[in-house]
């Protein structure tokens, strides 16, 4: 009687099943890790965009309330950001007191990071 060396088909199938289960667990952890690493960069981009928009609005003579996507309202700025189509923008103004100052609110919303709000007061032009 000969002794065969190697693995049987059943042993190979079992090894493949065990490896498949192990790799799927590792891949699911890697996917969560990659998703979480993108969020800080996106949050930083939204902060820079929000500050730029507020500065731009404060330099304008008159500020209008607007809503829409970033690429529709500020197309030049949106070209610099890969996810600009996913960012919605809301600009609102509110008059303050008697000195004709205006409170400017800018709200940027992205599905991955939620809402980010910026506020500034535009004083009376002299």
Report pLDDT digits (tens) over 30-68.
888 777 776 788 888 888 889 999 998 888 888 888 898
Q: Span 1-9, mean pLDDT?
A: 80
pLDDT interval class at 17 (50, 70, 90): very high
Q: Does a structural domain hold residue 75?
A: yes
Q: How far, in Å, CA of 67 to CA of 54, rounded?
A: 14
Q: Span 68-83, mean pLDDT?
A: 83
* Pair of tokens at residue 74: 């500020």
Give the CATH number for residue 40.
Answer: 3.10.450
Q: Does a structural domain hold residue 28?
A: yes
Cα-based distances in Å from 16 to 9, 19, 21? 11, 5, 9
pLDDT interval class at 80 (50, 70, 90): confident
Q: Give the domain range for residue 26.
A: 10-122
Q: Does a structural domain hold residue 71?
A: yes
Q: How far, in Å, CA of 124 to CA of 105, rounded?
A: 17
Strand partners, 107: 90, 117
Q: How far, in Å, CA of 93 to CA of 81, rounded?
A: 25
Residue 23: the pLDDT is: 93
Q: How many domains does the chain have?
A: 1
């Amino acid at each position: 009687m000969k002794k065969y060396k190697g693995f049987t088909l059943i042993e190979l199938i079992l090894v493949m099943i065990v490896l498949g289960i192990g790799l799927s667990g590792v891949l699911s952890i890697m996917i969560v890790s990659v998703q979480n690493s993108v969020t800080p960069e996106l949050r930083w981009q939204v902060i820079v965009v929000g500050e730029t928009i507020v500065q731009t609005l404060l330099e304008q003579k008159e500020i209008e309330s607007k809503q829409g996507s970033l690429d529709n309202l500020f197309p030049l700025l949106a070209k610099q950001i890969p996810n600009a189509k996913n960012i919605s923008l809301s600009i609102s103004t509110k008059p303050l007191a008697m000195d004709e100052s205006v409170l400017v609110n800018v709200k940027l919303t992205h599905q991955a990071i939620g809402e980010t709000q910026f506020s500034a007061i535009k004083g009376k032009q002299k």
